[in-house]
A and B are shown apart, each in its own frame.
Chain A
């Protein structure tokens, strides 16, 4: 393994392209990141910035065609999992890597009981018998804070509320004690109070179980609350990466700054209008040859139109280890 056993997951230069009728769409462009043991990595960016696609392509969850993972390495448990067979990858999914999806209302199969759906990965990956799996499933439901777990196993998803279903999804994802939990906007579809409960639950589970988590969201408030480290994505690239405090205190990329400015302040005089970032993220038909953010960037200059910026370290640490940014422009002090 390339980096000394510290990281549970190490992604290098991941490239994912969608082949569509209208040509290719480059959704993930040379994304590199790593995940330390027990760490919570927040991934932020607006819709279409490639957050989910990155995470799904590294574990082979994108339907192919149209998706084509064209390059890169994904190191997990000492193996490059982009090189292993579909069957071997299937053995990892749900076992070493757990997934929680955005919409709990549709993510559970409506015609099977909650218990059956939790038991499935237990029987498949851990080789438990039905009876053993049932016992473990009840424990898992209790773990995610669902009372009367034994009886609830035979309930159907439609008998559960959205927050409860997301708890069930988390129970499924955690069933086989994964090293990595990938949570794809797990609280976006929930009420704010339920969001808070789920966040509490995840914090709690992390303390108990110690798995590493990738938390995809576009809610910076959530990130500030739970993440150790943040990765900002734009147009399928990592544009800035830093420990959470550093990122909020000293954002370097104009996109990160703009994102932070869009959060309405709850103190002080009320703004006339909500801050927005004008325009849309681009849809890339080829590998980016210039900065993808240039059209929306207030600081864009000649070089931004000519050359795609690579990630450079902002502090003394190497790229990916401390604070880095992919921008030609040198930012000064940030004032939100």
Chain B
């Protein structure tokens, strides 16, 4: 298992380098200029100097190699400096956002907590709802509960979040007045009252995303349970006189979780990616919103860095899913 993991990590290096090149070139090929927001009254020679100041006049491969160095060497050095108080970075140039002129990772550091709190909670909640629904739906296939579960999943699947989110705002915020319509990113949790306030403002985006997540995962869970429920070993467990609880929640569930864990693990990068539409709808100033803003402003370093971070996460969680698969299923050995 260890050799497998190490080998996969080594293979991930060229993969990620290749991905980074593709991302860099694609983003660079896209039309637009970092100065498109600057008024046309600014004289051309000033514009030229601004472009030079950003480093945007350099050839693409020069910028790519510089970015690589900054991403893999300078930024980790700053991170370590921040943690350990060392001075590895020695004031080297960081990846700067063309929009705000501040380091890209500072922006990410500001935005990521919002995204992780809201979308992470929604994902956890979605999983926590989906697993019991999937398990019980499969155990009582075609029962009323299963029919409702199917309906719920169909709604979660087919209704886009911009619709369900708006609907939730109208019902729960406007009509009932239970929750605020907007997410206040300035709110800091210091005591019980602010904690409750935080929960209230998270409620609607978490519900919106949680429904969509739960729909997908409950379907996977249900079909995986159904696949296993008719296996011979289930009959063996019953023949041993095991109570239904043990049969279903131990024998069947352990086998059914193998594919579902993979699905859940592969879904985690999307938490970091943010849910662009939902973040916009509720005013959660997270990573998704940052990415959209950066794209609109042709802030290439920001877009490239974010896109590449998502790529790293996807590669990492693929590996984690594979390792989990091996841990859960004794038949799979990677050596």
Contact = CB atoms under 8 A, between A and B. Distances in A.
Please indicate whether A and B come from the same complex rather than being unrelated chains: yes
Interface of A: 59, 61, 87, 90-95, 98-99, 101, 103, 106-112, 120-121, 124-125, 156, 158, 169, 172-173
Given A106-B232, A107-B233, A99 B329 contact: no
Contacts of A94: 239-242
Given A120-B240, A172-B240, A156 B233 contact: no
Contact of B238 (A91, A93, A95): A93
A121 B240 contact: yes
Contacts, number: 74
A294 B26 CA distance: 78
A99 B331 contact: no
B85 interface: no
A172 B236 contact: yes
Contact of A169 (B236, B237, B246, B330): B236
B69 interface: no
A94 B231 CA distance: 18
A181 to B, nearest CB: 11
A302 B49 CA distance: 111
Interface in B229-283: 231-233, 235-243, 246, 251, 254-255, 258
B78 to A, nearest CB: 45
Nearest to A89: B241
Interface residues of B, number: 21
A236 to B, nearest CB: 20
Nearest to A113: B330
A172 B258 CA distance: 25
A111 B259 CA distance: 13
Contacts of A95: 241
Given A106-B231, A110-B329, A156-B330, A93 B236 contact: no
Interface of B: 231-233, 235-243, 246, 251, 254-255, 258, 328-331
Contacts of A121: 240-242
B242 A109 contact: no
A61 B239 contact: yes
Contacts of A106: 231-233
B254 A112 contact: yes
Given A94-B241, A121-B241, A124-B241, A156 B331 contact: yes
A26 B236 CA distance: 25
11 contacts: A61-B238, A91-B241, A93-B241, A106-B233, A107-B232, A109-B254, A110-B329, A111-B330, A124-B240, A158-B331, A172-B236
Contacts of A98: 239
B244 to A, nearest CB: 9
Contact of A111 (B236, B239, B241, B255): B255
Which interface residue of A110, A124, A172 has the most chain B CB atoms within 10 A?
A110
A125 B243 CA distance: 11
Nearest to A182: B239
A110 B235 CA distance: 14
Contacts of A61: 235, 238-239
Contact of A124 (B232, B242, B255): B242
A67 to B, nearest CB: 13
Nearest to B258: A111
A109 B330 contact: no
Contacts of B242: 90, 94, 120-121, 124
Contacts of B243: 87, 90
Nearest to B257: A111
Contacts of B246: 120
Nearest to A105: B232
Contacts of B238: 61, 93
Nearest first, the 5 closest Cβ-Cβ pairs linking A and B are A94-B241, A99-B239, A93-B241, A94-B240, A106-B232
B330 A99 contact: no
B255 A93 contact: no
B254 A111 contact: yes
Contact of A103 (B232, B237, B240, B329): B232
A111 B231 contact: no
